[in-house]
Structures are given as structure tokens and as C-alpha cells.
Amino acid sequence: MEKFFTMKYYFDPSPGPDFKYWIVMFVFAGALILFASIVKAYRNKTEDKILKKMIKSYPSRLFWFGFSAALLTLARLENISLFSMRFLWIVYFAILIYVVVRSVKTFYREYPRKVRQSLSHQGKNKYLPTQKKKKKKK
């Protein structure tokens, strides 16, 4: 337990080949990539233009987080020096949590506001001038 509180434990460039959680990490990376494809398919299928615009960047973010997790796991399995440091996992999960929390917070704050704004704008559209339709010549 004392080794968890030492800097050498987190910054060791070659932590060793005994990585027991590699299957869990590959499943996690695969789940992120799969979730990215599901979000992309949902985005292509939905008719809500506001929702489409708001979740436009989510699939690429999820894919790159999944790819990065797979790459870090592979580096740890192959014991590649410097890329298999435990500190990189701490940085990875800190950035992942920050991006997810910020995205969810922004979505729940902005989506209802944009829907209300769109609905109020639709009511005003019927009073705005439009171009007259041109008559076809016979």
C-alpha cells in the first residue's frame, strides 16, 4: 500500500509486464469506439437539427478517447518505455472526465435554451416577408 504514495510508482518508465487489467481496458476502449459509432448513427437518423448540431463533435471525441485507451493499453502490454507510465493513465482519465462533464453540462444547459429560442423564432417566421412565387409562362 505504501508504494501507491511514491512518485516512482506513477512515473516509472517501465512498470513491468504484469498488467492484469488489459482485457478490461481493451473492452473499455472498444466500448468507447462502439458508442461513438452508435452516436454517429443516431445523429444521422434524427430529424432534430438542433440536436444534430450539438452532438456533431461527440462521435469523433469518443473515437479518439477509445483509440487512445487502446494505444496506452497496447503500450503497457508491450512494455514500451515512457508510454507505459501509470501517470499517463491518470492524465487520460482526468481529461476524459473533464470532457464528459463539460459536454454533458453544456448540453443540458444549452439544448433547452436553443429549443425555446427556435420555437419562439418559428412563431415570428410566419410574419416575415417572403418572396412571391413566380408564375410559369405558357
Indicate whether 125 belongs to any domain.
Answer: no
Per-residue pLDDT at 114 exceeds 90: no
- Number of domains comprising the chain: 1
Residue 7: inside a domain: yes
Bin 82: left if φ > 0, else alpha if -120 < ψ < 50, else beta.
Answer: left
Please enumerate in sequence order all residues whose Cβ is within 8 A of that of 102, keeping only pairs 6 or more positions apart, or say none.
none
Answer yes or no: pTM beyond 0.85: no
* 25 domain-assigned: yes
Each residue's pLDDT tens digit, 46-66? 998 888 999 999 999 999 999
pLDDT band at 128 (very low <50, low <70, confident <90, very high): low
Reported as a single tens digit per residue, the pLDDT across 4-48 is 777 877 788 777 767 788 899 999 999 999 999 999 999 999 998
In a domain, 129, yes or no: no
Question: Do 84 and 76 touch, CB atoms closer than 8 A?
Answer: yes
The amino acid occupying position 62 is: L
What domain range includes position 40?
2-12+19-117
How far apart are the C-alpha atoms of 99 and 105, rounded to whole Å?
Answer: 10
